[in-house]
Amino acid sequence: MSYIKDSFEIVNGAISKDVCRLTSRALIMAKDITLHSSNLKENDFPCRDDMVDNSFSRYSPLVLDSLSDTLVKDVVEQVVGEKVIPTYTHCRLYYNGAVMYRHVDRSSSEISASLCLSIDKDHDWPLMMEDKKKQTISVNQNPGDIIVYDGNELAHWREPYEGKLQVNAFFFYVKENGDRTKLKYDTRPMLGLGPEDRKYQPDEQFKLFPVKDK
Ligand SMILES: [Fe+2]
């Protein structure tokens, strides 16, 4: 399959195991710091998001925004065959029982890339997608594997997770020569800032660049 023809492409071993190990450690540390400073326990899931229960998530951690502007951007540009601009990143630590509801990504996600950072080796946990022919496909990932897909076109989801912990990172881009350059850095003044620094929040971005629910 190819991104140009199928709107998605899998690049196995796109990012080195060492970089995945380091990044995964940084994200788990961010989770531990959050639990420590909020006096909450892992099972309280203080930073789950609307999309997934039983998870810890964070908007644009520094380590991911750095990757989005360097190593991952190189891979994405190679796959899509044109220059791209980072918008935002996101991470999730998925715990047993996590389910990701079927959705398409928001307006700042003209191109999406999902990088697997660490897995529970006893439990494969595929990303499910509906391809352009309306067929359901299932993609398993090992650390370092990236799925690049059109986040606004292809609906995707995950069935209930039976493993202990899987860590994934998500990188979102708009095309440098496309019509969404206004969404550069997710409308933040620079990478690394939090969601409160966006000029346009997601609902305002949606009005500017509507995305069809699928
Ligand atoms: Fe998504």
Cα(42) to centroid(ligand 1), Å: 23
Torsion angles phi and psi, residue 69, rounded to 5: -100, 5
Q: What percent of the chain has pLDDT over 90?
A: 87
Sequence spans of domains, the chain = 3-208
pLDDT higher than threshold 80 for residue 187:
yes
**Distance from the alpha carbon of residue 111 to the mean position of ligand 1, in angstroms:** 11
Q: Summarize pLDDT for 117-150 with one digit per residue, the tens.
A: 999 999 999 999 999 999 999 999 999 999 999 9
Ligand 1 centre and the CA of 94: distance in Å? 14
pLDDT of 2 reads: 94
Separation of alpha carbons 76 and 125, rounded Å:
23
Q: CATH code for 3-208? A: 2.60.120.620
Lowest mean pLDDT among 43-47, 80-84, 137-141: 43-47
CA of residue 190 to ligand 1 center, whole Å:
23
What DSSP character marks residue 29? H
Ligand 1 centroid distance, CA of 59 (Å):
13
Q: What is the pLDDT of residues 96-112, one digit of tens each?
A: 999 999 999 999 999 99
Strands 84-95 and 165-175, how do they pair?
Answer: antiparallel
The model's pLDDT over 162-175, given as tens digits with 9 standing for 90+, comes to 999 999 999 999 99
Token pair 């929040």: residue: 201
List, as ranges, residues with CB under 5 A of the ion ligand 1.
Answer: 105
User: Quick one: average pLDDT of 46-68?
Assistant: 85
